[in-house]
Amino acid sequence: MPEKLLVENLTHHYPDEYTGESVHALDDVDLSVQEGEFISVVGPSGCGKSTLLNILAGLLPYHVGKVTVDGHMIHGPGPERGVVFQEHAILPWRTVNRNIGHGLEIRGVPKAERDNRVAQFVDLVGLTGFEDKYPHELSGGMKQRTAVARTLCADPEVMLMDEPFAAVDAQTRITLQEELIRISIATKKTIIFITHSVDEAAFLADRCVIFSRRPGRIKAIVDVDIPREERIWGNMNADTRFTSKRDEILHLVREEVSVEHEE
Ligand SMILES: Nc1ncnc2c1ncn2[C@@H]1O[C@H](COP(=O)(O)OP(=O)(O)OP(=O)(O)O)[C@@H](O)[C@H]1O
Ligand SMILES: [Mg+2]
């Protein structure tokens, strides 16, 4: 399969205009993502995961290294890449329905078709009955689900997701994880999914990227060889293919976190 995203020798420093000292966020990151692949990313807090995602989204300029989508250098956002942020970014002056349909509206999709698609995603994320509410009338988890639905509804080829389910309750989270697997089977999207949950990372991904503590480097990549059709939570804890990979990822992450605490 062709390569969808490519990151080569990516290093990133955030300048500090006041002290003149910079924060070294990413160090020589190389990653090649095939079309249709599902990649999860885990690593200690502050190791540069969101930095990498923002660079892939085209929202953060980079100066050292090369980052491409379909062979083209990334210099800004593009409709082929959709983002779900760590902090839900929905528009406060738009209702749930109009937030979810925002991308389609921008693209000029006719209202009837838009309404149809929006209804499908409202249902998918369990927001039926809240279509006409404004964000300030929603719970944190509902806002996050609106943000996820909005990105899915815009139908990008690449989904860049930064802890999208962190704020939702445990039951909804499991449902959304299974739905995301189902969507990935149906749509063949390329997905980069950042999470602090090792279970989530192992459940969702074809490959899990483990970052070192800052400055973030790729410490290891673990393949999770379970067909997506078989990824159903009810079966996972009895499936050694899952538990062994989860434990391997957990061990690799813990090494980084304990190093951090020892210092
Ligand atoms: N806009 C910014 N300006 C300066 N420093 C920043 C900026 N954004 C992030 N940083 C720093 O860069 C480092 C990496 O941050 P980043 O947000 O990428 O981490 P992360 O891995 O996503 O962490 P978390 O798991 O807590 O979300 C941190 O030390 C952070 O303080
Ligand atoms: Mg982050």
Q: Whose CA is nearest to atom 18 of ligand 1?
A: 48
- The C-alpha atoms of residue 55 and residue 61 are separated, in whole angstroms, by 6
H-run or E-run covering 219: strand 218-223
Q: Write the pLDDT tens digit of every residue in 129-157.
A: 999 999 999 988 888 889 989 988 888 99
Break the chain into its structural domains and give their ranges.
3-80+161-168+196-262
| Pocket flag, ligand 1, residue 45 (CB < 6 Å) | yes
| Pocket flag, ligand 1, residue 25 (CB < 6 Å) | yes
Q: Whose CA is nearest to atom 1 of ligand 1?
A: 14
Shortest-distance ligand to the CA of residue 44: 1
Backbone angles phi, psi at 181, to 5 degrees: -60, -45
Q: Whose CA is nearest to atom 25 of ligand 1?
A: 45
| Residues contacting 256, CB < 8 A, separation 6+ | 43, 44, 47, 210, 211, 212, 213, 219
| Pocket flag, ligand 1, residue 54 (CB < 6 Å) | no
Quick one: 3-80+161-168+196-262 is in which CATH superfamily? P-loop containing nucleotide triphosphate hydrolases (3.40.50.300)
Find tokens 């299974």 and name the residue: 178
Q: Write the pLDDT tens digit of every residue in 18-30.
A: 887 899 999 999 9
**195 C-alpha to ligand 1 centroid (Å):** 14
**119 C-alpha to ligand 2 centroid (Å):** 30
Q: Write the pLDDT tens digit of every residue in 47-91.
A: 999 999 999 999 999 999 999 999 999 999 998 999 988 777 788
Looking at residue 261, its pLDDT comes to: 59
